[in-house]
Amino acid sequence: MEKIRLNDRTFKVMIPAAEIDKAVECVAQKLNNDYADAQRPPIFVGVLCGAFVFLSDLVRKVNFTNEITFIQVSSYQGTQSTGNVQQKLGIDFDITDRDIILVEDIVETGHSIEHMIEYIQTLNPKSIEVCTLFYKPEKHLYKREIKYVAMEIGNEFIVGYGLDYDQVGRNLKDIYVVDNQ
């Protein structure tokens, strides 16, 4: 099994790129079914920096007209969420009465998602749904349903396909997990 070293840790492949691609295709089909008849193009709101790879692959698999923008929040330090969400970049155009698809790389506790949804609600959208590549249901602390989930995982710390470990590893095509051996 392929291993890599990032900063002070060794990681091994957990989910190969082909499996990720199939999961992205499945979630794209769900979005295609739900937004095929949208009156106005839905807006994908990608959460920087982690969701950019997922969003890039996702929008090339959907078949409805859409718009794309980005927001940025931060809550991580090393391998742990601090629980303190800081907004760094917001939406700078009118989204009133628009369908918003908030695209995340991973949903764990839900603190960041709740922060972003509260922010987006102040901009008067028609709807807000969350689409995430990875979801950790055991860690999720909120009642809000995450409607579009590509893959559920356990509580492992993962890196690759946009997810980082202290800002490195986003470029990896596979998902890696810490190798504890």
Task: Let me know: does 142 contact 113? Beta carbons within 8 Å.
Answer: yes
Distances (CA, A) of 131 to 77, 148, 168: 23, 4, 24
Task: Let me know: does 64 contact 38? Beta carbons within 8 Å.
Answer: yes
Q: Pull the structure tokens for residue 94.
A: 């009118």
Active-site residue, selected from the candidate residues 25, 67, 104, 108: 108
Look up 145 and say whether it is catalytic: no
Question: Smallest Cα–Cα separation from 46: which of 19, 26, 75, 66?
Answer: 66
Question: Smallest Cα–Cα separation from 60: which of 92, 27, 13?
Answer: 27
Cis peptide before 49 (omega within 30 of 0): yes
**Residue positions annotated with a catalytic role:** 108
